[in-house]
Structures are given as C-alpha cells and as structure tokens.
Copies of this chain bind each other. A is one copy, B any other.
C-alpha cells in the first residue's frame, strides 16, 4: 500500500543536510530535483513539495529532542544562486485541491514549529539568504528571528505569487509581512506585486530583511550572528539528547496500529476511530524519564498521535470523522501529568509538553469532524481530556453499562490550565468558557477529581451525557447524521466554531489567509486549463476572468 509517510530520519534525507558545530546547527536546503514525492515534476532551484517539508519538520523536531546543546540554527541553501524558489509549481498544478490545501497546512505547521522552537525552546533560527529567495522560500526565511541577505546584486527576496501565479503567498507570507515584520501595507502591496523581488537598502528600510552583508564578510557575519543568537538561549550546556527512535506501526487495510494508539477505519461510515491507551508503568523520577526517552508514555503517545493525524489527513481524505476513544487507568494518566508538571523546568520535559501542545493544535486544525466518546473504561484525564475539549462534540456515558462495574469519568490536571494553548493563545477550557468565566474557575477547583457524567455535564465539560438505554442509538445517530452533511460545509463551519476569542498571527494564517488561499485554489484563474498554475513555464500567457467577486 503506497502512502505518504511522515516518518523519516537524517540518514534518509534527500533534501536537507544537518550539520552541527557545537551550539550552532546548519540546516542546509539542498533539494534533490529527482526525488519528488510524485512523478511528473522536477524539484528544480530548491523548490519543494510535501516530501521536502516532511524532512524539514523532522529536522526541526530532532534538533529539539536529540540536540539539547544546539542553541541557534542557521537556515541556508546548499545551492549556488538560489536559496529557495518556493513550492514547486508543476506539483501544485497537478495536485488535487485537497492535496494542495493539506500540503499548505502542513508546511504552515512546520513553520509555526520553527517559531515555537525559538520562542519556547531556546533554539533560535537565523535565515542566511544567499541567492534568489522567492515565494515559499521567503516564507520559510520569515520564520527566522533574523534574516540576513547577502549583498551580491543577484540575491533577492520576493513574493511573486500574485503577478506570476494568480495565487497568494498563502503559507503565512502575507500575514508574516504585516503581522510579524510589520511592513507598511502599501509597501507590502508593492512588494507582492513585483516578480523580481527586492534587495539592498530598500529591503532593509522596508523591513523585508534585517541585515544586508557584503559577500566578503558573509561567512564571518553569519557565524557571528549565529553565535550572538546562541548566546541568548536558555538551553542546557551539559545535557544528553534522547533518540527519536522509529515508531512501531502496523498498517492494515482497515486501520493502523501503534503501541499506544489504534486507528480503525469504517470506510462505509466514513470515519476513523482512534483509541488511545493510557500508560502502564511510569518512571519514578526525572532520571527515569530521561532513561525511557522516546518510550516515555507522553512522548510516545504524542509521536504516534501526530503521525496518525497526518496519515489520515493526507492519505485518507474520505474518512471525514475522527472519533476519539481511550482505554486505561485515569489515575495513571494523572500520574504522568504530575511528572510533566513536577519536572517542567527540565529541558526534556519542556520539550515533551510543547510537543504535546503542537500535536493538540494539529488536532484542532484538522479538517475532519472530531467526536470524543467518554465511556466506562476510558481514561480521558488531564492531557488526554484535551481531546475531549478539542472535539466538536463530546458524548459521555452516564451510569453503568451492563454488568461493567466502571463508571465513565473525566478528570482535570494542572496541565489543562495553561500547558496546551490553542492557536488563539487560550487554553481549550478558556475558549470553551469564554461566555461563562465562572465555569472555568469552578473547573479549576476540581483538579484530580474523577468526575462522572452528570457532574461533567453540569460543569459544562462535555456536550451531552446518555445512559445505557440511549447511548448506542444516540451515538449512531450522531455519526450517521454527521456523515450525511457536506464535507465542505463541515470543514468551513468547524474552522469558524473552533477558534472563538482572540486572534493571533497563527489563527490569522490558519483562518483568514488559508481560507482565501483555498478559495483562490478553486478559481479558474489559478487552476483552470488556461489558469496561471497550468500555464506557468509554458511560454503561453494565462487567460483570466477579470470580473471582480
């Protein structure tokens, strides 16, 4: 069974080189033009497809876990004359709408991940731009805290999507221009309207780059700037990284099994059920966490859930619903949370918490209906309860099920109150209770308590509770009804309802910019037979319908 695989490791990279020199890592983009994910295009000029970004995401992740001593990362190109030409146009022209949208979403998440490394993990990124840096290439550069541009009269930064391709700088470009780099809006308009890009003093004055450097001083200045960035880091100096060992996965026709996560497909009903298993043994202390490394349950679970979500997004577009179930001892999940809370100052525990945060955001941003079923025998406590709060609907079993002596319970831990902010900067509970802040305060007084369905319902923590008489019928009805709605209307509705409250650069990228890009990706001016994406490179001008909408 052929599918897009999100697992890789440096030994298998085709497009990136990772060179580590003490506290400085060099992450070098050197795309193998012949190693595209699909046939039909060559990845010329360091242009990229999803496969290139899967390696980048892997490298960014490994830098955090495997290289605690790395304090600054220099993003650069391994090619002469070009930093990165952006997303590959022939790939975009040939890809389905769904692939384009999910490709952009993943690259956006990877870029947010780079910014998260700098902000929360003390791994600071520097973009050392030599050669043409266009479109997605400049969008990658903008994730760095500092952009250096070599002043060699050839190297430029550019966002030529609108004039050249009739699409947007849609993987964060427009938003980072105005929100992160705060480029004046009319200058941003000029910059996004010219194919050839900008360089020199004007690039500085317009805040497009932070520094221009003569070629004679280039390597020395890059090294000095990387060292200066590294000096601002709070990463440990004497720590040993842990290896992100290969995941154990079993692919079946009707699902996918990991160690702690099982994914079962019901293709006819168009859903995947993800069952998460709680921890069995847990280490006693911090040394034990480090000794377990990638096998430590919270980290292992995060990696498996992350991979499962990505697999479903890209390889199983027909499964429109993700049903979350869990199985295990809630007390042990709370014990795992207690470890994560007690040792949060440790660099590895910090990484695990931030990774869980990113995986949960990935769930929020997944355009599938999310349903959580809280049943007897489940362990939706603390970190796992976040999935209940991430769900569009959460159903909880009230009372006993047949002869089973267990009651379904939900439990909160300190990690539900700050460790896992959503893209909007709020916790899922804060977002949930925007209209009733008292409910949030009340929830915080019940830390660690096993809450039964009636209590969870009263506290507003679930959508609805059903007893043994109604459970099966109600669950079936919900799932059947949901599966009958238009996939697109659900995607758009969920994208709006999931993120109430404040906006951040992140929600603007995933909400506003992405929605506009999705729209543009549907329009004949971009994707029609005479559109710009199809005609790019053919020498024939695209034909546009110039009616304004």
Residues of A within 8 A of B (CB): 97-98, 101-102, 161-163, 165-168, 174-175, 177-179, 181-190, 192-193, 207, 270, 317-320, 367-368, 391-394, 431-436, 460, 462-464, 481-483, 485-498, 500-503, 508, 511-513, 515-520, 522-523, 525-526, 532, 542, 544-549
Question: Given A179-B500, A519-B522 in contact, is the A488-B549 Cβ separation under 8 Å?
Answer: yes
CB distance from A322 to the nearest CB of B (A): 10
Tell me whether A435 and B496 are in contact (CB under 8 A): no
Q: Which residues of B contact A187 (CB under 8 A)?
A: 463
Compute how far the CA of A320 lies from the CA of B502 in the bound complex, rounded to whole angstroms.
33
Compute how far the CA of A163 lies from the CA of B486 in the bound complex, rounded to whole angstroms.
8
Compute how far the CA of A296 lies from the CA of B298 in the bound complex, rounded to whole angstroms.
69
Q: Which residues of B contact A393 (CB under 8 A)?
A: 186, 189-190
CB distance from A76 to the nearest CB of B (A): 26
Compute how far the CA of A296 lies from the CA of B492 in the bound complex, rounded to whole angstroms.
45
Tell me whether A547 and B391 are in contact (CB under 8 A): no
Q: What are 30 A-B contacts defined by CB distance under 8 Å?
A: A98-B548, A161-B489, A162-B485, A166-B486, A168-B496, A178-B501, A183-B435, A184-B460, A185-B498, A185-B500, A186-B394, A186-B432, A189-B393, A189-B463, A192-B493, A317-B547, A317-B548, A318-B546, A320-B546, A368-B548, A486-B525, A486-B526, A487-B544, A487-B549, A488-B520, A488-B549, A489-B526, A491-B548, A502-B503, A515-B516
Compute how far the CA of A168 lies from the CA of B320 in the bound complex, rounded to whole angstroms.
18
Tell me whether B500 and A178 are in contact (CB under 8 A): yes
Compute how far the CA of A546 lies from the CA of B193 in the bound complex, rounded to whole angstroms.
37
Tell me whether B162 and A193 are in contact (CB under 8 A): no
Q: Which residues of B contact A97 (CB under 8 A)?
A: 549
Q: Which residues of B contact A497 (CB under 8 A)?
A: 174, 177-178, 185, 188-189, 192
Q: Which B-chain residue is minimally distant from A163 (CB atoms)?
A: B485
Q: Which residues of B contact A320 (CB under 8 A)?
A: 546, 548
Residue from B165, B168, B489 within 8 A of A525 (CB atoms)? B489
